[in-house]
């Protein structure tokens, strides 16, 4: 069976809960309703042979409702099938965790929670993974300013001099052109 066949199997099993399926450049995508997401993923993992969860990501469709979209990439161990599963999520909803199906989804879901603020119900250890506890913002949301936001975090991890300053792998800011900014160009002088 192929991923396209699996998409047909999912449509037959879940009916209207499968909102759409499509194939583009050999990649199969299944869009599901959020209330069927865990059941669809369980069928993929337990019956259709998708042993690996490759990635769990999220999109911010700022200004739309629902605002967010979850994107899962699963594949077989022999790399013969890849499937993308998507589900739209509003700001008030929680996404069911898939860590009971693929334990490797743990850190992926924590990163989505940390960077986008999307909570996962049933996650065994849902806490921030990149930002510190108590940080009140979600840096990958589209309404987060590019310059960042001021915080009360002390500058404990910073020193006065950058550890690699002037080193062979550090590019020079500015410079006459892109060639002169390259570290290797300093070796020729």
User: Tens-of-pLDDT digits for all 189 residues of the chain?
Assistant: 899 999 999 999 999 999 999 999 889 999 999 999 999 999 999 999 999 999 999 999 999 999 999 999 999 999 899 999 999 999 999 999 999 999 999 999 999 999 999 999 999 999 999 988 888 889 999 988 877 777 666 555 555 555 555 555 555 555 566 565 555 555 555
Give the helix/strand (H/E) hosting 28: strand 27-32
Q: Helix (H, G, I), strand (E, B), or coil: what is residue 2?
A: coil
Residue-range domains of the chain with CATH: 3-145 (3.30.460.80), 159-189 (no CATH)
pTM of the full structure: 0.78
Torsion angle in degrees (nearest 10) through CA of 87, 28, 124, 137: -50
Residue 68: its pLDDT value, please? 98
């Amino acid at each position: 069976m192929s991923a396209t066949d699996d998409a047909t199997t999912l449509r037959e099993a879940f009916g209207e809960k499968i909102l759409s399926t499509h194939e583009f450049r050999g990649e199969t995508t299944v869009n599901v309703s959020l209330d069927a997401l865990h059941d669809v993923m369980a069928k993929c993992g337990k019956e259709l042979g998708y042993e690996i969860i490759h990635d769990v990501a999220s999109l911010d469709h700022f200004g739309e409702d629902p605002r967010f979209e979850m994107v899962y990439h699963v594949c077989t161990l022999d790399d013969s099938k890849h499937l993308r599963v998507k589900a739209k999520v509003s700001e008030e909803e929680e996404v069911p965790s898939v860590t009971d199906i693929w334990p490797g989804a743990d850190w992926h879901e924590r990163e989505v929670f940390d960077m986008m603020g999307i909570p996962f119900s049933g996650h065994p250890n849902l806490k921030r993974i990149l930002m510190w506890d108590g940080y009140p913002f979600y840096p990958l949301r589209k309404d987060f300013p590019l310059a960042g936001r001021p915080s009360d975090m002390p500058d404990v991890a910073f020193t006065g001099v950058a550890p690699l300053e002037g080193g062979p792998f550090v590019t020079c800011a500015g410079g006459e052109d892109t060639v002169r900014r390259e570290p290797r160009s300093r070796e020729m002088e």
